[in-house]
Amino acid sequence: MIKKILLFLLIPFLSFTQDIDDLFSERGEIYFSFEYNNKNQLNEISDIVSVDHKTNSELAYAYANKKEFSEFLKLDIEYKIIKKEILNYTNTTKNNWNYYPTYSEYTDMMQAFADSFPDICKLHHLGTLSSGREILIVQISGNVGQKENEPSFLYTSSMHGDELAGYILSLRLIDYILNGYNNNPKLTELVNEIDIWINPLANPDGAYHGGNQDVWSAIRYNANWVDLNRNYPDPEDGQHPDGNPWQDETFIFMGLADTVNFTISANMHGGAEVCNYPWDTWSTLTADDSWWKYVSHEYADSCQQNSGNGYFNYLNDGITNGWDWYEIDGGRQDYMNYFRYCREFTLELSDDKTPNPNDLPTLWDANHPSLLNYLEQSLFGIRGIITDSITGIPLKAKVQILGHDIDSSHVYSSLPIGNYHRYIIQGNYNLTFSKNGYYSKTINATILNNNTIVNDIQLVPVGTTTDIIENYPPEEDAIIFDLLGRPSNKKGIQISDKGTILIIE
Ligand SMILES: [Zn+2]
């Protein structure tokens, strides 16, 4: 069992005598607990304050800034303020990943990964916050930076600045993968076959709130006292479910998700030990509920096997539907699933949000086989490349499973390769591929768990056989192909990249 450290002092207060200005005199967020009557009441309160991962069936835990807490007080619910202690762990020895780096050690480490493994690792500076701290991400792949027929995979951690197990596990995972390349066949295969992105620290201002030298005064929110995991567009509650403008960190991540078409991802948090799969915002199950349960159990089971008794077995043996635990509006998981057509779940890695650094190696032992399994899941399912049947040009097309897909669970192929990746529980499915200007095509596929079926699809342009234009040259930007799809500027019957047949004289 992972050693539990008492992080918080419970100090009871009577709710009506507390002066709100006093409460927020030292920091812009407070942590508190309260009893709730039923799930509906908790969900209503979750619209007002930031309900926390420590919440269980009897007691809710929550964070609030001053504005949020003023709203909560109107409900007249008794609460207890939980005074957050400044941690006083010391990093005496810095080896075997049993420590939290200083901020500059972190940035140096990220740079060193790219410098030491330039063939397979790139460092991207996604953006600089007004504090001067940066959001950094490394990209790892064979031919890194070159678009290939690969799924794009994302690990990101610690958007709640005080949930830091995943910060260190992410750094160690990068180090492990890079050093394993060409040494460990499994890791070599993962690097060669997947476009891997890892962002160890999504909220550096929260983690280093007390200064760049250590994380002992880390906070959940960002520097503006906004919960970043309530700040995303929500499938049900609109663009700004928390009433705050998008924060810089949110803009940076939405920009990343727009640029890289991630097919699968995980968002690392802490405060519990459980896999939380979509949706968070509503009770409807996803189309791929069975697949989510499968991959979540795969994650939890392997953690249990690689640790002592009692780790990663919270709720339903280490997994839970998000809404079933407690509702979240504006969370990143739902944003990625609903708006980016990506499969993202949330990993709650440790009961202690900021674990004793001496416990970090044990957490690594428990989690790293699971982290690699989930990476490997990105290669499974139904995949292929979608092209124009005549020109061979890759297409961005919609991949939909009739009688199965709901609530934005369809996916798209992405350019410039035209590759699609549809993760799904084993079974037999009819997949329809469609794009404006093309005839739709439906195929039947049978897939087994942890297996891959490749179906490359050629879509036939509408009007190909009849739409003959005799005037040449066509639009200046058109690329001309011969009938075998090879770029061409010869005379005779040719085809433009718009799918038009041209007779060139
Ligand atoms: Zn969290």
User: Percent of the chain having pLDDT more than 70?
Assistant: 88
What is the pLDDT, as a whole number, of residue 53?
87
Q: Above pLDDT 90, what percent of the chain?
A: 81
What is the Å distance from ligand 1's center to 240 Cα? 19
Ligand 1 midpoint to CA 169 (Å): 15
Query: Does 493 or 23 have the greater pLDDT score?
Result: 23
pLDDT band at residue 481 using 50, 70 and 90 as cut-offs: low
Cβ atoms of 31 and 22 within 8 Å: the answer is no
φ/ψ (deg, to 5) at 402: -70, 140
Q: How far apart are CA 280 and CA 206, in angstroms?
A: 23
Average pLDDT over residues 160-177: 98
Q: Which residues contact 328 (CB under 8 A, 6 or more apart)?
A: 46, 51, 229, 230, 280, 281, 322, 334
Torsion angles phi and psi, residue 17, rounded to 5: -100, -5
Q: How far is the CA of 53 from the centre of ligand 1 (A)?
A: 6
How many A from CA of 302 to the centre of ligand 1? 22
Query: In the predicted model, what is the mean pLDDT of residues 161-172?
Result: 98
Is the pTM value of this prediction over 0.85? Answer: yes
Specify the pLDDT at position 92. Answer: 67
Ligand 1 centroid to residue 159 C-alpha, Å: 7
Average pLDDT over residues 136-153: 97
pLDDT tens digits, one per residue of 37-84: 998 899 899 999 999 988 988 899 999 999 999 999 999 999 999 987
Q: How far is the CA of 50 from the centre of ligand 1 (A)?
A: 10
* Band (486; pLDDT cuts 50, 70, 90): low
6 alpha carbon – ligand 1 mean position (Å): 19
In the chain, count H helices and then E strands.
Answer: 13, 25
User: 187 CA to middle of ligand 1, Å?
Assistant: 29
Confidence of residue 505 (pLDDT cuts 50, 70, 90): very low
Q: How far apart (Å, rounded) are the C-alpha atoms in residues 96 and 100? A: 11
Instruction: Write down the pLDDT at residue 25.
Output: 87
Contact 437, 461 (CB under 8 A): yes
Q: Which two tokens stand for residue 166?
A: 């995943």
How would residue 478 be classed by pLDDT, with cut points 50, 70 and 90?
low
Has residue 448 got a pLDDT over 70? yes
Asked if the model's pLDDT at residue 468 lies above 70, the reply is no
Q: 207 C-alpha to center of ligand 1: Å?
A: 12
Q: Which of 438, 410, 418, 428 is nearest to 498 (CA)?
A: 438
Helix (H), strand (E) at residue 152: strand 152-157
> Is pLDDT above 90 for 85?
no
- Tell how far the Cα of 504 is from the centroid of ligand 1, in angstroms: 62
User: In the structure, what pLDDT confidence band is assigned to residue 475 with cuts at 50, 70 and 90?
Assistant: very low
In this model, does residue 12 exceed pLDDT 50?
A: no
3-state secondary structure 128-196: ECCCCCEEEEEEECCCCCCCCCCCEEEEEECCCCCCCHHHHHHHHHHHHHHHHCCCCHHHHHHHHHCEE
Q: Which residue reads 């428990």 in tokens?
A: 366
Determine the distance separating the centroid of ligand 1 and the alpha carbon of 90, expressed in angstroms: 24
| Owner of token pair 């609460």 | 79
Given a cut of 60, whether residue 492 has pLDDT beyond it is no
Of the listed ranges 197-201, 303-307, 488-492, the least confidently predicted one is 488-492
| Of 124, 134, 111, the residue nearest 249 (C-alpha) | 134
Q: How far is the CA of 346 from the centre of ligand 1 (A)?
A: 9
Distance CA 302, CA 282 (A): 29
Q: Are strands 80-84 and 8-10 parallel, antiparallel or unpaired?
A: antiparallel
**Ligand 1: distance of its center to the CA of 155 in Å?**
14
Residue 471 has pLDDT above 50, yes or no: no
Which pLDDT tens digit goes with each residue over 318-361? 999 999 999 999 999 999 999 999 999 999 999 999 999 999 99
Q: Residue 93 — pLDDT band, cuts 50, 70, 90?
A: confident
The residue whose two tokens read 């953006």 is: 127
Q: What is the dihedral of CA 250, 125, 103, 173, to 10 degrees?
A: 90
Residue 430 and residue 442 in contact, taking contact as beta carbons nearer than 8 Å? yes
**Strands ordered across the beta sheet of 398-401:** 411-412, 398-401, 427-434, 441-447
Distance of alpha carbon 239 from alpha carbon 308, whole angstroms? 43
β-sheet bridge partners, residue 401: 431
Are the beta carbons of 53 and 272 closer than 8 angstroms? yes
Ion ligand 1: residues, Cβ under 5 Å = 160, 163, 269
Could you give the C-alpha distances from 459 to 30, 392, 442, 463, 478, in angstroms and in order? Answer: 56, 9, 10, 12, 19
pLDDT in tens, 222-267: 999 999 999 999 999 999 999 999 999 999 999 999 999 999 999 9
Backbone angles phi, psi at 441, to 5 degrees: -135, 135
User: What separation in Å is there between the alpha carbon of 228 and the centre of ligand 1?
Assistant: 9
CB 455 within 8 A of CB 385: no
Q: Which of 8-17, 52-61, 379-388 has the least mean pLDDT?
A: 8-17
The alpha carbon dihedral of 385, 390, 395, 397 has a sign of negative
Q: What is the pLDDT of residues 412-422, one digit of tens each?
A: 999 999 999 99
